[in-house]
């Protein structure tokens, strides 16, 4: 398997692979162009996002600048998607976001994983775990979502939370670590 195939399979891969580094740099160039657009250039922004992201549910997508991601193609967003300023997605694995989702400012979604063993970490081997966010989800400002997490439908994640484990449907969850604080009826 190639290093990219290993990465997308959730297996350890070399983060120093020249092909992956070339792809990362190409994405950085696209992101630079996106972030340099005048905010009112809606059609240009949508065109870049359509080419950059793996899937967009429809044209009702808005990602305020600046926006950052590693690859783009592993990101899928549903209909009526909105993300506020400083949305950051490390998409070494798939990031799937459902319909009618709202992302607050300074939200980060991470799929990349690194060993806690310094010798292993210094080898530049890493792996990735997917993140899934259901439909009708609101992620408050400055939330961090860690690798392998699933957030259920109709759920709200409170501002400043660190989501380390799955969160079910129909709840309000908050905190560090994020936990359910109220069930919705």
Catalytic residue positions?
114
* Residue of 183, 140, 135, 136 whose CA lies nearest to 163: 140
Whether 68 and 109 have beta carbons less than 8 Å apart is answered as no
* Residue of 138, 68, 146 whose CA lies nearest to 114: 146
**Is-cis flag, bond preceding 66, omega within 30?**
yes
**Which two structure tokens, joined as six digits, stand for 139?**
């992620």
């Amino acid at each position: 398997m190639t290093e990219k195939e290993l990465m997308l399979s959730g297996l350890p891969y070399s983060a120093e692979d020249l092909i992956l580094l070339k792809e990362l740099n190409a994405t950085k160039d696209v992101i630079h162009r996106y972030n340099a657009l005048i905010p009112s250039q809606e059609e240009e922004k949508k065109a870049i996002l359509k080419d950059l992201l793996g899937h967009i549910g429809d044209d009702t997508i808005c990602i305020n600048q600046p926006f950052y991601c590693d690859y783009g193609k592993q990101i899928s967003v549903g209909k009526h998607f909105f993300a506020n300023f400083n949305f950051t997605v490390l998409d070494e694995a798939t990031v799937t976001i459902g319909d009618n989702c709202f992302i607050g400012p300074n939200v980060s979604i991470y799929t990349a994983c690194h060993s806690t063993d310094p010798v292993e970490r210094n080898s530049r081997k890493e792996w990735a775990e997917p993140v899934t966010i259901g439909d009708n989800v609101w992620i408050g400002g400055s939330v961090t979502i860690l690798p392998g997490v699933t957030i259920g439908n109709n759920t709200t994640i409170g501002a400043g939370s660190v989501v380390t484990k799955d969160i079910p449907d129909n709840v309000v969850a908050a905190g560090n670590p994020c936990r359910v604080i109220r069930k919705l009826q």
